[in-house]
Amino acid sequence: KNITDYFILRFSRPRRVPRLELKSGVPDDGRTLCVVSVLLSSEKSGAAAARQLEEYRLANRDAGRNLVFGILADLPDASSETIPCDETYLKSASDELKKLNDKYADGFFLFCRGRLFNGRDIVFSAWERKRGAILELCRFLRKRPTKLKCLLGRKEMLENLRYVITLDSDTRLCAGTA
């Protein structure tokens, strides 16, 4: 791989990647949802994800009202379908996003899936932690049967979405890139 990389870089020139500039923000026909996939493993994890979403909103404020943000949450593996700390973790994340909705006049969502029994590992967990969450989100947005629930946010703002940007909690959304 290193040898191949060396020859490619040595004998080819870099090219500019075309970029779409939206001077008046994301148009109505380009409505976009940006979600961060998060494992809510403590009260602080929801707050950290909310801070990250606020940072992304500020970094991409030129996108306008057609760019909305959400936490795509899963709960940690457990010995039963629900455990007492679930409500605490979800309430913490929900409270932080409510503050952002109040501060920025909406545009923030909390999505969460229920746990399913995993017979192989003999534990209740979310199916396919990240890929499964994204698939469930797509089903939800298309109004198909799903275990995903929208726990916070005005659902009418999700109508006519055209694009979904999915990020891991360790991925950055740089200024102006949404």
> How much is the mean pLDDT over the chain?
90
Sole residue written with tokens 């409505």: 31
What pLDDT score does 31 carry?
A: 93
What pLDDT score does 130 carry?
A: 84
Structure tokens of 178?
Answer: 């949404």
Taking the C-alpha atoms of residue 4 and residue 160, their distance in angstroms, rounded to an integer, is 44
Q: What is the mean pLDDT of residues 43-51?
A: 94
Res 19 pLDDT > 70: no
- Cβ-in-10-Å burial (0-12, 13-18, 19+) of 67 comes to buried
pTM of the model: 0.83
Strand order in the sheet with 67-74: 148-152, 108-113, 67-74, 32-39, 163-168
Per-residue confidence at 174, pLDDT binned at 50, 70, 90? confident
Taking the C-alpha atoms of residue 101 and residue 81, their distance in angstroms, rounded to an integer, is 30
pLDDT-above-70 percentage for the chain: 98
Q: Per-residue pLDDT tens for 55-84?
A: 999 999 888 899 999 999 999 999 998 999
What pLDDT score does 126 carry?
A: 84
Q: Per-residue pLDDT tens for 103-122?
A: 999 999 999 998 889 888 89
**Strands (DSSP E) found in 115-170:** 116-118, 123-125, 148-152, 163-168
